[in-house]
Amino acid sequence: MQRILSEALPGITVLGLDDVVEYAEPVEDQPDFEGNALVKAWAGHRATGLPTLADDSGLCVDALNGMPGVLSARWSGQPRSDDRNNLLLLDQLADVPDERRGAEFRCAVAFVHRGADGIDVEHVVEGAMRGRVIRERRGEGGFGYDVVFEADDRPGVTTAELPREDKDAISHRGKALRHVAPIVVEVLGG
């Protein structure tokens, strides 16, 4: 968030959960990324009074009817494990031919802030990165399913193998943050 938002609003400081008063993180129980992002943004805004950005994202695989989707982080159960999630996904797709391994990362970013009239306002934007799930894990960067995902915009390498700047340019989260940046600039920089 800091890297991408500072492109639109130089000098902005993005605070994380460790930088604000501790509060109970809400349960992500909504059926879609937008709902979960809003739950988190409203919780942060209510607890701190600060303008709050929150996101929710996941991998949606065509051959699995869009799953794991909002369950991406906990696809293989608790406790959460990227390694187990990736192994389970590769196992579920083992017999799926390469031409049917299409997928996309999706992200919703919610921004909640106090409006000029004193009423709290919410905004939600989305971003997507289309690609496919490969047959083995590759790469050390990123997190989650990055080691098994090749973006259509960068074939031949997983998103875990991309330099951070390249991934920011094409990722679902990067796209969503660039969509919300003008709103943040209007609210904070205007």
Contact, 172 vs 55, CB < 8 A?
no
Q: Where are the beta strands (DSSP E) in the chain?
A: 52-61, 102-114, 120-133, 149-151
Residue 69 to residue 18: CA distance in whole angstroms: 27
Give me the pLDDT at residue 67, please.
97
CATH of 2-189, one of 2.60.120.10, 3.40.50.1860, 3.90.950.10, 3.40.50.2020: 3.90.950.10
SS3 145: helix
| pLDDT for 190 | 56
Q: In 3D, which of 49, 34, 54, 149 has the Cα closest to residue 103?
A: 149
Least confident of 4-8, 15-19, 94-98, 147-151: 4-8
Q: Global pTM?
A: 0.93
- The residues that are catalytic are 56
pLDDT classification of 8: cutoffs 50, 70, 90? confident
CA dist list (Å): 62 to 10, 95, 116, 131, 184: 39, 14, 43, 10, 33
- Residues 9, 3: Cα–Cα separation, whole Å: 10
Instruction: Say yes or no to pLDDT of 3 above 90.
Output: no
pLDDT over 80 at 189, yes or no: no
Binding site for Mg(2+), by residue number, is 56
State the average pLDDT for the chain: 95
User: What confidence category does residue 93 fall into, taking pLDDT thresholds of 50, 70 and 90?
Assistant: very high
Domain spans of the chain, in order of start: 2-189
